[in-house]
Structure 1
Amino acid sequence: MNTQSPARLAGSASIAFQTPVYISSCASVVGKKEGEGPLGDKFDLICEDPMFGCDTWEAAESTMQKEAASLALGKAGLAPGDIRMTFAGDLLAQTTASSFGIAGMGIPFYGLFGACSTMGESLSLGAMSIAAGYGEHILCATSSHFASAEKEFRFPLAYGNQRPLSATWTVTGSGACVLSGALPQEEIPRKTKPLLSDKGCVQITGLTTGKLIDYGLKDSLNMGGCMAPAACDTIYRNLCDFDRTLEDYDAIFTGDLGAVGQKILFDLLMEKGYDIQSIHQDCGLLIFDGETQDTHSGGSGCGCSASVLAAHILPELAKGTWKRVLFVPTGALLSKTSFNEGDSIPGIAHAVVLEHCPV
């Protein structure tokens, strides 16, 4: 009988896993604009058709998320029946993209909403479930689509409204990961390139659950400003809870603060005595070229951090480019109802500690 506790509580809001939680595969699917960006050669699938062969933007996003999930399962040599449960979500009302997409694969399903922080929420819940022994394989996924998000939260595309420089561009993309309690067996046939490299794999070793931070901002076209305080709070609490310094991380990736939110994050953490500029990267600034692609402050959306995670962060971790990184997807909990009634936009950020594991 294994008497080892699967996890231990750390500080005020963190968990350190005592039993292995591996990311055994991952996949990314993006649209044409994302494929033209700096990470274009790293995505698993780039679709030139923004409708993904469907009749509506919402159906297009559902198709994209299901494709990312299918690719991740294929890389792990798994079928939908091998997955114990799925944690997935998106930006749309009633998690429409996930409900009509990945949920159609017949896997037990938990629908999530954490705005653009959803991939961090999904990985956190999946890792806790694996560590506790509630499943051998768990699927985590999320997505966003530029057109479906604009339709949901702002203006119809045909309106042609002018976007301020603080605005970000919602990424048309999806990312999916399969979490496992054991390393994938090498004899399992793989349909596409595996996450595992000849140098190692990736393990989730800890997490810090975010809390709602509301500075009273009400500008729906400045998501970075709404989310930066939450990112600051979560990063600070992660360092305190695990008794770590910035030197303990090779990189800190936020989800989609963009150029505006990044500067605010730097200022807020400097007030707490932390200068993260040398190790900080933002997925919203990585996925688009600020000089050649007209995205203003950068990229955003659930699919932003998820697709960058699957296409760039995890493969580089597996190769040993970094030994330990802090992945901090950021979300602005913008509701059409509350926003139209004049309420502010709270932010949240969930942190996941990812480490290179030699094999």
Structure 2
Amino acid sequence: MTTFKKTGMQTINFDNPPVITSWACLVGPKEGEGPWAKDFDRILADYLFDEDSWEKAENKLLRETVKLALTKQDLQTMEAELLLAGDLLNQTISSNYAARELNIPYLGLYGACSTMAESLLIGAMMIDGGFFNRVVSATCSHHYSAERQFRFPVEQGVQLAASAQWTATAAGAIVLQVKGQGPRVTCATIGRVIDMGVDDTNNMGAAMAPAAVSTIKAHFADKGLNSDYYDLIVTGDLGAVGMNLAKELFVQEGLVPAPNYSDCGVLLYDGLQGVNAGGSGCGCSASMLCGPLLKKMINGELNRLLFVATGALMSPTASFQGETIPGIAHAVAIENA
């Protein structure tokens, strides 16, 4: 008889919760100037990372992060059974080329800045379903490669709007295994695409906030949890504008996550780096999760974390054609045993 793991409309329970046995994160110079420098594995001295283009640097950033996460478990790349990864660039080239060098069986993903949560929930499904014993979930972003693709050549020195966010130069990788020591992925909520008509590409926090609130609401409804169940609910990359909007939407939806709610785009920097409304990019939430947040779980400062990475599913082409910006958010529950 088939046992269904789905609860409610959008949430998956894991009967054998996969274990986060190791993780790693590398960040760029600006991210290393923030409040979490001691929690990152490595801070790059410059944005080129000894390469001759930003795109090649981003590829290397992801590749080295995956290798470091495996090394922490004394594993070689050949011992990883599957790599789940994605990034912001066209055709996910950073992940594709990293997978080429790593030579790990690979599934490329695109969820924009929600990719860390997407890779984690799919990896957990793969392991809980009995398909794999060891999966690596990863993502990355690079400020200057993203600027080149989505906005303006940095040489133009275009002044950003106050609501704009700084794409983080960072990568995060997590090793998920059937057994081991570490926090466990206990359940996950797959988000819906939500579009409230925001068309300002300089205000992606506002475009993503409704999706974040929708997914959090679905998670609590599906699981029947009290609002104070998690020690921390952290969204990914809404920034200051999107986070404030999310708080307003929480009230409208009857959700009460405060005071245990924050956002990776707000947390990553400390306001001294000139990042306008905060951080964004796949690497923003990935580096916060694979740096300070999982460290806090290991130290017992957090025992139950709901990680809700958000993504703006737009492209310059669609924006030039007058399209609005759809948002997505996926929630992953990470708990100490």
TM over 0.5: yes
Q: Is residue 38–residue 289 contact of structure 1 (8 Å, CA) maintained in 2?
A: yes
Query: How many Å separate the matches in 2 of 1:103 and 1:225?
Result: 36
Contact 1:69 1:102 in 2 (8 A): no
- State the alpha-carbon separation in 2 of the partners of residues 103 and 230 from structure 1: 33
Q: CA offset at residue 103 of structure 1?
A: 3.6
Q: Structure 1 length normalisation: TM-score?
A: 0.92
The answer to whether the Cα contact below 8 Å between 2:166 and 2:275 also exists between their aligned partners in 1 is yes
Q: Quick one: distance in 2 between partners of 1:319 and 1:154?
A: 40
Distance 2:13 2:270 in 1: 36
User: Is residue 306 from structure 1 mapped to residue 286 from structure 2 by the alignment?
Assistant: yes
Contact 1:20–1:182, Cα closer than 8 Å, also in 2: no
Task: Check if 1:262 corresponds to 2:262.
Answer: no
- Alpha-carbon deviation of 1:318? 1.9
1:212 to 177, 189, 193: 193
- Change beyond 3 A, Cα 1:315–1:32: same
The residue number in structure 1 matching 2:33 is 36
Structure 1 position 102, deviation (Å): 3.4
CA offsets, 1:238-282, max 9 Å, x none? 000000121111110101001000011011110011232301111
Deviation string, structure 1 residues 88-147 (Cα, Å, up to 9, x no partner): 000000001111123421000001100000000000100000001111110010000000
Q: Please report how far the alpha carbon of residue 334 of structure 1 lies from its aligned counterpart in structure 2 after TM superposition.
A: 1.4
Match for residue 327 of structure 1 among 307, 322, 333? 307
After superposition, give the CA deviation of every residue in 1:50-70 in whole Å (9 maximum; x if it has no partner). Answer: 001111111000000001001
Give the corresponding residue for 1:198.
Answer: none
Say yes or no: does 1:16 pair with 2:13: yes
1:245 aligned partner: 226
Stretches of structure 2 that go unaligned for 5 or more consecutive residues are none
Query: Is residue 2:150 matched to residue 1:170?
Result: no
Deviates most, 85-94 or 313-322:
313-322
SS across alignment from 2:5:
strand
What corresponds to 2:317 in structure 1?
Answer: 337
Identity of aligned residues (%): 45
Structure 1, unpaired ranges of 5+? 185-200
Secondary structure, aligned partner of 1:141: strand
1:200-242 CA deviation, whole Å, 9 max, x = no partner? x200000000110001111111010010000000000000000
2:106 pairs, out of 109, 118, 136, with 109
Q: Is the 8 A contact 1:224 1:258 kept in 2?
A: yes
The 2-side partners of 1:104 and 1:345 are apart by: 34
Out of 275-284 and 339-348, give the one that drifted further: 275-284
**CA RMSD after TM alignment:** 1.2
Question: Are the counterparts in 2 of residues 256 and 304 from structure 1 also a CA contact under 8 Å?
Answer: yes
**How far does residue 179 in structure 1 lie from its aligned partner after superposition?**
0.3
CA distance in 1, matches of 2:18, 2:104: 20
Distance 1:127 1:72 in 2: 17
Moved over 4 A (4+): none
Task: State the match for 1:278 in structure 2.
Answer: 259
C-alpha separation in 2, matches of 1:80 and 1:121? 22
CA contact (8 A) 2:17 2:124 kept: no
Q: How many residues are matched?
A: 337
Q: Secondary structure of 1:237's match?
A: helix
TM-score, scaled relative to structure 2 = 0.98
- Aligned AA for 1:317? M
Match runs of 1:1-359 below 5 Å: 8-183=5-180, 201-290=182-271, 292-357=272-337
For 2:179 and 2:157, how far apart are their aligned partners in 1?
A: 50
**AA of the residue aligned to 2:46:** D
Number of the residue aligned with 1:193: none
Whole-angstrom CA distance in 2 between matches of 1:159 and 1:44? 33
Q: Secondary structure at the match of 1:53?
A: coil
**8 Å CA contact retained: 1:62, 1:102:** no
**C-alpha displacement of 1:4:** 9.8
Q: Which AA in structure 2 matches 1:289?
A: D
